[in-house]
Amino acid sequence: METLVLGGTNFIGLHLVQLLHSQGNKVTVLNRGKSLRSMPEGIIQLTADREDHAAVARTLKDKQFDVVYDIYAKPHSNLKSLLEILVGNTGHYIFCSSVVVYAPSQIFPVLEQSPKNFSADMPVLAKLKVASEELLMKFFDERSLPISIIRPSVVYGPDNTQPKRDCKIFELLDRGRKVIIPGSGQQLFHPIHVDDLATLFLATSTNKNSYGEAYTGCGPDSSTGTGYVKMVGEIMGVKPEIVHVETSKFDSICREVGISGEHDIFPYAWRVNRTYTNEKAKRDLSWFPQYSIKEGTTMTYNWWRQNNLNQTGPPNDRAAVPPPPSEELKFSADDKVLERLGI
């Protein structure tokens, strides 16, 4: 296949590029050219700022692609103009959305046809993703551009550049620090390994069953927050010291000390359960995730250790990267909460 990956140098995009290349596909990557990460030999690199419609149009002029994968983390205001550029020279457009589009539910697992979140107080990212999906489906109906949507749950695995995900738990346990979990720690979260997500994008490619459809990308199992931390401790050979904080008390402490991010302390679901299903992708695409949480986390921990990230922090391949923060700065939010708890 002749493929184009919009955003292909970090985490999800990087693993997708590597998979496509290993399968013998011709891969072109378009981004701003600010990454220092080297691509596999044979990858075509195009440079343009996604926000610059004219530059993107010039860069993609007269180029034909069987599949375009849009992996940018955040939807852009110029999504419609991008689609206009792709019409006529693209066989299939696949958009990376998110499970944040789903409305809160008391029925599990959440299905692809479950209600979307249109509430006024929904998070900004969710609002943008929902609006993007609405635009894409309208475009599919009116312009006949084959479109598919992938809604990943929490993505984890090697090359994760988000410092408040896997790497934070590894660092806390590696340094013998306490792990704070708001609430009971019994809420479920449902992640997907980055390599499983990459194979889902590939399984969707040029598959007519996927045209005009959305698919949730989630792994084969879910975990409670407490169960996850204990599992990581087992993988690392340490016994975690977990501190549970009643939810309202935690919220009050965060307001007092100026912690605004709900997941700054514990990076996974702790207010509500979040479990999904991948049965639709199995049925339509013959796609099956390979990594259980324990298998995938073991791989991720080994990558973290082998790359000495306990010394350098999560990877960041951009130019002019500042040095990693000190331990005191890195865990300052955790320390503030523990101090207020008298621990």
Find the mean pLDDT for residues 132-137.
93
In this predicted model, what pLDDT tens digit does every residue of 44-57 receive, in sequence order?
999 998 888 899 99
Find the mean pLDDT for residues 237-252.
97
Helix (H, G, I), strand (E, B) or coil at 90: strand
Among residues of the chain, what percentage have pLDDT more than 90? 75
Closest CA to 87 of 39, 51, 139: 139
Whole-number pLDDT of residue 318: 44
Interatomic CA distance for residues 36 and 10, integer angstroms: 10
Under a CB-based contact definition with an 8 Å cutoff, are residues 219 and 283 in contact? no
Output the DSSP codes for 236-294: HT----EEEE-HHHHHHHHHHHT---TTSSS-S--SS---B--HHHHHHH-------HH
Find the mean pLDDT for residues 212-238.
98
User: Which letter, b or e, does each residue of 119-156 get, where b requires 16 or more Cβ atoms within 10 Å of its Cβ?
Assistant: eeebeeebbbbbebbebbeebbeeeebbbbbbbbbbbb
In this predicted model, what pLDDT tens digit does every residue of 102-122 receive, in sequence order?
999 989 999 999 999 988 888
Interatomic CA distance for residues 19 and 93, integer angstroms: 18
Find the mean pLDDT for residues 82-102.
94
> What is the location of CATH 3.40.50.720 in the chain?
2-155+192-217
Find the mean pLDDT for residues 199-207.
97
Task: Using the structure block, give the residue that is written with the tokens 């955790």.
Answer: 334
Interatomic CA distance for residues 143 and 141, integer angstroms: 6
Quickly state the pLDDT bin for 210 (edges 50, 70, 90): very high
Whole-number pLDDT of residue 329: 56
Whole-number pLDDT of residue 76: 61
Higher-pLDDT residue of 78, 128: 128
Given a cut of 50, is residue 89 above it in pLDDT?
A: yes
In this predicted model, what pLDDT tens digit does every residue of 256-266 receive, in sequence order?
999 987 788 99
Find the mean pLDDT for residues 190-203.
98
In this predicted model, what pLDDT tens digit does every residue of 24-49 receive, in sequence order?
999 999 988 777 567 778 999 999 98
CATH number of this structure's domain 2-155+192-217, picked from the four choices 3.40.1010.10, 3.40.50.720, 3.50.50.60, 3.30.1320.10: 3.40.50.720
Round the average pLDDT of the chain to a whole number and report it.
Answer: 90
Interatomic CA distance for residues 67 and 58, integer angstroms: 19
β-partners of residue 214 are 149
Q: What's this model's pTM, rounded to 2 decimal places?
A: 0.93
In this predicted model, what pLDDT tens digit does every residue of 60-70 receive, in sequence order?
999 999 999 99
The arrangement of strands across the sheet holding 213-217 comes to 44-47, 26-31, 2-6, 67-70, 93-96, 147-152, 213-217
